[in-house]
Amino acid sequence: MFFVAQFLMYIVNNMQIEDFMKRNLKLVALALLFSVASCSFTTKSFDDSDKDKKLIDLISFVLERGHYEPKEINDDLSEAVYKDFLDQLDPYRSFFYEKDIEEFDAYKYKLDDAIKQKDLTFFDLAYTRLIQRIQEANELQSSILEKPFDFTKDESINLDYEKLKYVRTKRELRNRLRLDLKLDVLNLYYYTKEEQLSGLDESGDKEFLSDEEIEIKSRKEIAENKKDFYESIKDLKREDYFSVFLNTIVENFDPHTYYFAPVAKDRFDTQMSGQFQGIGARLQKKNGEIRVTDIISGGPAWRNDELKAGDVIQKVKQEDEEEPLNVVGMRLPDAIEFIKGPKGTKVTLTVKTKLDGSTKDITIERDIVELEEVYAKSSKVEKDGVNYGLINLPKFYFDMENYKEKNAATDVKKEIIRLKQEGIEGLVIDLRNNGGGSLKTVVDIAGLFIKEGPVVQVASNGDTPEVLEDRDPSIVWDGPLVILVNEISASASEILAAAVQDYGRGIIIGGKQTYGKGTVQNVVDLNKWVRNNQSGDLGALKVTTQKFYRVDGGSTQLEGVKSDVVVPDYFSYIDVGERDQKNPLAWDKIAPAKYEKWSGYVDFQNAIEKSNDRMSKSEHLKLIDDYAKWIKERREDKIYPLKYEGYKKRIDISKIYEKRFDALENYNSNLVYKSLPYERRLFKSDTILKEKRERWHKDLAKDVYVEEALNVLRDLNAGAIKNSKLAAIKN
């Protein structure tokens, strides 16, 4: 049961957004449409005091007029929304009964009319029934966990939940929950026994527990986990579930149209900018307590050096208030709202320390907190006597309030200049797992490698595509270039990879294709559309308004970017791309833009052929491919034995396979990666940053893809040297 986790992942999944270029006249027209629509809401029946009804009316209006391919709100959409919403509420068929679904079925083909009429009868019914069923399931699970499990009984569980039918009786539900819980307890039971046998009992107790004692211990631990789970569900409000309902509507238009509740919008802004204003601590709620899990390096709490991971925050006092606020038992999002605040303001936290359990007050001045892991970082490495540079870019980030202040393009440019000062002769840009970001930043980054010219074409529905160009004739890096991608590289990552490939400016190394997201989203602040809004913050809608195309005219939608050098990786056989999502827009093609190919390479194709040849002969990559196939097989095997001997046999077989793949962890290129001088100076005061970089460099040394990227840079360099010698002979 991962309902809460699933709901929270809504906030972070598929968060790519391309900001609009101001010079795009079509978008100005679209903005005018939005403005007119905003005004029109004051004259149409939009004075509804019910926030939920106002939201559903406003969102359906925006979708109808602003979406790239608006869908008709009809019976087909009604059926899809109905099914998706129930799947979100009860994905593991562990709450609702068959009779509940039979009652809900009356609304299966009526939700289109309900949306138009702002009728929330179905939502209210499903929500109320869910809360009731969750309470019943909680009581059932508690009673089940009071009795020991029999691991000698020959039974199994099928984890293919999508194919499970809803239960008919309480007895069936109890048995379904029992099987789920038994698997959880059996897993802990097995590993506790293994720890004892290997002498690795983390409790430090040298006395071996009996099988009965291990079962009791495992069952108690699962009971605590389930208690936390249901406490998390209790923290969810009606508005949280309504956000899920709204998203089952909007995501039927395409996978990237998404409704942000106010808290989710704040998190989205943080993700896009890589910064927020607060104290710089990550928090979680456990057993009703707000606990510090991590102190963010360089942030106010880190500089203050009093708050520690493991401390429990009990009270929060603002500097302009006399009395502190007790946050024990408070919802985590609500507590966070009180703890964070504008730069320059102070907050006093009353904490119970992890060290000795004492209570003390800690006053911290809030500041801008930068999430360093989101930002571009670089490293240099020497291979065969030649220096190379690598820049890892996790996201195409930008500050929504001030683009010039912080953005990925400016940071990448700085890192290139620093690497050039170190005498590098080739550059790797690592875009693996980069889900995208700002369209403007990717245009600016592409311009660092080409003289001038188009980078991407952007089309609105039915209009002539606009060509977004690099207009700066300067080139920051004109040397050999390799772009690393994988199946998770999406959106803006695909634009950069496609531009580099179309220009022949560099070589793309990765899986068969990138993610395949070729659409552009705009975030619409719903609050600005309504005059005299008395309903509170309405949140925002991220809506797909355009598609982008490569300069050669092809769309990256669904097809992604095909790598020049195809290498197997861990995602090779897993459905993770746009083509595997629900309701994706179609692939199409437009006329190419006018551009001139890069002429700075000799033996460009030869370097690709050499790399493909090396990769085809690599035993390590063959092992990665085998591992990827094995992962797919494991994911497809949904039947788990619940008898201890059968469960142990399954894991023992897995261990045999895993042992074969140990070599993947043991691989080492023996290359030494180093931070640049400016960063090494920071290490003197920031040991956490130093540890992060050392860990990253260790991972790079074990990365076969980065090693091959360096080999390709060497081949491109060799071609350039060969060309210069031939030119010298001719002269």
What average pLDDT does the segment 494-507 reach?
Answer: 97
Give 152-196 pLDDT, tens digit per residue.
999 999 999 989 999 999 999 999 999 999 999 999 999 889 888
Q: Enumerate residues 6+ apart whose C-beta is below 8 A from 506.
A: 449, 480, 481, 482, 483, 500
pLDDT at 184: 94
Q: Which residue has the higher pLDDT, 513 or 400?
A: 513
Widest CA span in the chain: 91
Minimum mean pLDDT range among 61-75, 167-181, 495-509, 654-668: 654-668
Minimum mean pLDDT range among 101-110, 395-404, 697-706: 395-404
C-alpha distance from residue 321 to each of 312, 339, 362 (Å): 21, 13, 15
618: left (phi over 0), alpha (psi -120 to 50) or beta: beta
235, 228, 252: which is closest to 88 by C-alpha? 252
C-alpha distance from residue 391 to each of 246, 377, 378, 668 (Å): 39, 6, 4, 20
pLDDT at 206: 59
Residue 197: pLDDT band with limits 50, 70, 90: confident
Q: Are 566 and 613 in contact (CB under 8 A)?
A: no
pLDDT at 285: 82
CA distance 341 to 277: 6
Q: Which residue has the higher pLDDT, 31 or 366?
A: 366
Q: Which residue has the higher pLDDT, 85 or 332?
A: 85
DSSP calls for 353-401: -TTT--EEEEEEE-EEEE-GGGS-EEEEEEETTEEEEEEE-S-B-B-SS
Minimum mean pLDDT range among 14-28, 79-93, 399-413, 601-615: 14-28
Whether 385 shows a pLDDT value over 60: the answer reads yes
231, 235, 227: which is closest to 335 by C-alpha? 235
Residue 693: pLDDT band with limits 50, 70, 90: very high
Minimum mean pLDDT range among 55-59, 536-540, 702-706: 536-540
pLDDT at 52: 93
pLDDT at 726: 40
Whole-number average pLDDT of the chain: 87
Whether 372 shows a pLDDT value over 80: the answer reads no
Token match 């593991």: residue? 92
What average pLDDT does the segment 122-138 reach?
Answer: 97
Judged by DSSP in three states, 131 sits in: helix
Give 386-397 pLDDT, tens digit per residue.
999 999 999 999
pLDDT at 180: 96
Bridge partners of residue 521, in order along the sequence: 544
Give 268-310 pLDDT, tens digit per residue.
777 766 778 889 888 888 767 888 988 887 788 888 889 988 8
Residue 719: pLDDT band with limits 50, 70, 90: low
Whether 42 shows a pLDDT value over 50: the answer reads no
Q: Which are the catalytic amino acids?
A: 491, 502, 517
**What percent of the chain clears pLDDT 70, i.e. is strictly above it?**
90
Whether 9 shows a pLDDT value over 50: the answer reads no
Whether 21 shows a pLDDT value over 90: the answer reads no
Amino acid found at 33:
L
pTM: 0.84
> What tokens appear for 565 in the block?
């050098």
Q: At what angle do helices 75-89 and 121-144 cross, to 10 degrees?
A: 20
Q: DSSP secondary-structure letter at 97?
A: B
554, 553, 549, 529: which is closest to 539 by C-alpha? 529
DSSP calls for 457-488: EEEETTSPPEEEEE-----S--S-EEEE--TT
Q: Enumerate residues 6+ apart whose C-beta is below 8 A from 15.
A: 268, 271, 272, 435
What average pLDDT does the segment 461-474 reach?
Answer: 90
pLDDT at 717: 87
What average pLDDT does the segment 485-504 reach?
Answer: 97
Minimum mean pLDDT range among 95-109, 246-260, 567-581, 670-684: 567-581
Q: Are 616 and 573 in contact (CB under 8 A)?
A: no
What average pLDDT does the segment 454-461 reach?
Answer: 93
pLDDT at 654: 87
> What tokens appear for 420 in the block?
């050039």
CA distance 716 to 704: 19
CA distance 647 to 635: 16
What average pLDDT does the segment 534-547 reach?
Answer: 90
Q: How many CA atoms, within 13 angstroms, populate the side-chain half-sphere of residue 52?
A: 18
Going from the N-terminus, what domains does the chain have, and what CATH number goes with each?
Answer: 58-253 (no CATH), 275-370 (2.30.42.10), 372-719 (3.90.226.10)
